[in-house]
Amino acid sequence: MTDSNTTISENTNDFVVQPLHGQERFVAPIDETPVQEVDSVDESKVASSMWADAWRSMRKNPLFIVSGILILIILIVAIFPGIFTKVDPNYCNLPQSLDGPSSGHPLGFNQQGCDVYSRVVYGARTSVSVGILTTVIVTLFGGIVGALAGFYGGWLDAVLSRITDIFFAIPMLLGAIVVLQMFKTSTSIWKVVLVLALFGWVTTARIIRGSVLEAKNLEFNTASTALGSSPLRNLFRHVVPNALAPVIVLTTTSLGSYIVAEATLSFLGVGLPTTVVSWGGDISDAQSLLRIDPQVLFYPSLALAITVLAFIMMGDAVKDALDPKSRV
């Protein structure tokens, strides 16, 4: 018995399903198609990892090249400011207040008579230090909390997730202002770093929790468990390395956000003390001179904008490399 769409060949002993008239389909012989060439795999080549493929993609991305050059210059300025200026940023001479550029002082002087160029150069060290230190603490603490919650689940996941929700409900900048106001008598770089980390770790924890939940159910974790590996070893040896891609993207982008947060706190007068050279403090001091001498405000603002833009561009380049589906 056959349906209306097929006939039975009577020339052989086998049942051969043939399409009726008008429903024929042409299939080219395999040797006349490029399928074998397209699907062929060169087994002599060394297998590449996700990170190798990501690096190969990033180094061809103009966005990565430009942002990498900018970040490299910013780091050199922050680590070795003495190479770029010999002027003490804290040395101020009131008779030179708001003077224009001169020999050895290419950007002029601020209202207190301090060299603007020197303060911009040394301000890079403070802002970059706060950004890097905060990012490291946030990534480590938030990564551990999120990894444990996602891998073990159960009551541990419930408790850690509720704690994360509590901190997530508090805006980072608002919480930092309140805490710093409570301890305003002794403000330092480390205090600003710890306060920003206190309210900034929740995003990292939530993202790595989701990545671990996805990675822990893959075959390599099951195979490792079957070979006798302990759960804790599986977590840090196999699951976490395969869940780091979104965290790396977030870390690169967040570093610029923490630099902006420090500048905002210093601008509001609750961040770093006035004795510490920072872009946010200089912007705060120069806001009243916007109509009189805008260049005093322009240069630290430009340095802050370029730094943040460089890290955001780097984050976009890393995201495109680690997640090809996100490319437009």
pLDDT of residue 72: 94
Q: What is the pTM of this model?
A: 0.78
CB of 19 closer than 8 Å to CB of 25 = yes
Q: 115 in a domain, yes or no?
A: yes
Tally of domains within the chain: 1
pLDDT of residue 24: 61
Percent of the chain clearing pLDDT 70 (strictly above): 82
List the CATH number of the domain containing 224.
Answer: 1.10.3720.10
**Structure tokens of 250?**
């977030």
**Structure tokens of 318?**
């890393």
Q: 16 in a domain, yes or no?
A: no
Give the pLDDT confidence of 243-288 residue by residue, as tens digits. 888 888 888 888 888 999 988 888 888 888 878 888 988 888 888 8
HSE at residue 127, side-chain half, CA atoms within 13 A, is 36
pLDDT of residue 10: 46
Q: 47 in a domain, yes or no?
A: no
Mean pLDDT of 195-218: 88
pLDDT of residue 6: 46
H helix runs in 169-294, sequence order: 172-182, 189-215, 219-226, 231-234, 245-268, 279-286
Q: 142 in a domain, yes or no?
A: yes
Q: 127 in a domain, yes or no?
A: yes
Could you list the residue range(s) of the whole structural domain that residue 79 is in? Answer: 57-326
SS3 of 212, please?
A: helix
Give the pLDDT confidence of 150-162 residue by residue, as tens digits. 888 889 989 999 9
Tell me the C-alpha to C-alpha distance, in Å, between residue 164 and each of 57, 168, 178, 191, 318: 35, 6, 19, 21, 26
What is the pLDDT confidence band of residue 8, given thresholds at 50, 70 and 90? Answer: very low
Taking the C-alpha atoms of residue 261 and residue 238, their distance in angstroms, rounded to an integer, is 34
Q: 6 in a domain, yes or no?
A: no
